[in-house]
């Protein structure tokens, strides 16, 4: 669902005027039609994004959903965590040990490092940047420890 959430967030970002701090509101139906994502999935994603304070919802006739803040201040990590919870590529990359081999595992430190690189990369890319071309995004990962 994080992939759908990213598509939905880019949709909202494309309809926002960052300079005027103006964010257009859209209903779940409008988001579903515009993104071609099934309405039940859109509703689920919107609910999770509102709970994470990434989107704001307004009830009523003139209500709908809109960005809670500028898309340049919302990272991919924010979106992924809102949908999937903490980012962990493997069980052993989390702080809480679920694996009974963790005590003797030779790859656990490497998996933690790889996970940190991925998390740092996702934090480095904003939803606003996702509107551009992939070549326009630069991420430094050399200093991850």
Task: Please give the pLDDT value at position 99.
Answer: 72
Q: Please report whether residue 143 resides in a domain.
A: no
**Mean pLDDT taken over the chain:** 88
Q: Please report whether residue 142 resides in a domain.
A: no
Residue 126 pLDDT > 70: yes
Q: What confidence tier does 143 reach under pLDDT thresholds 50, 70, 90?
A: low
Q: Please report whether residue 63 resides in a domain.
A: yes
Q: Please report whether residue 62 resides in a domain.
A: yes
Distances (CA, A) of 10 to 6, 67, 79, 114: 6, 10, 11, 27
Q: Please report whether residue 141 resides in a domain.
A: no
Q: Please report whether residue 107 resides in a domain.
A: yes
CA separation for the pair 72, 63 (Å, rounded):
24
Q: Please report whether residue 144 resides in a domain.
A: no
Residue 29 pLDDT > 70: yes
For residue 89, what are its two tokens? 């590529």
Looking at residues 34-58, what average pLDDT do you find?
98
CA separation for the pair 143, 76 (Å, rounded):
20
Looking at residues 110-127, what average pLDDT do you find?
92
What is the CATH classification number for the domain harbouring 73?
A: 1.10.10.10
Q: Please report whether residue 95 resides in a domain.
A: yes
Domain that holds residue 65: 2-136
pLDDT per position as a tens digit, 50-65: 999 999 999 988 889 9
Residue 97 pLDDT > 90: no
How many domains would you assign to the chain? 1
Residue 139 pLDDT > 80: no
Question: Percent of the chain at pLDDT above 70?
Answer: 86
């Amino acid at each position: 669902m994080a992939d759908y959430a990213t598509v939905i967030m880019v949709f909202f970002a494309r309809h926002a005027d960052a300079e005027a701090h103006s964010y257009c509101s859209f209903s779940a139906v409008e988001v579903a039609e515009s993104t071609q994502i099934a309405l039940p999935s859109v509703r689920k994603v919107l609910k999770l994004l509102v709970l994470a304070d990434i989107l704001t919802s307004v009830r009523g006739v003139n209500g709908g959903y809109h960005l809670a803040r500028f898309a340049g201040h919302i990272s991919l990590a924010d979106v992924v965590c809102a949908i999937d919870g903490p980012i962990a590529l493997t069980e052993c990359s989390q702080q809480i040990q679920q694996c009974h081999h963790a005590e003797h595992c030779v790859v656990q430190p490497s998996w933690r490092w790889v996970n940190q690189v991925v998390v740092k990369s996702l934090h480095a890319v904003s939803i606003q940047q996702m509107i551009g071309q992939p070549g326009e995004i630069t991420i430094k990962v050399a200093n991850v420890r």
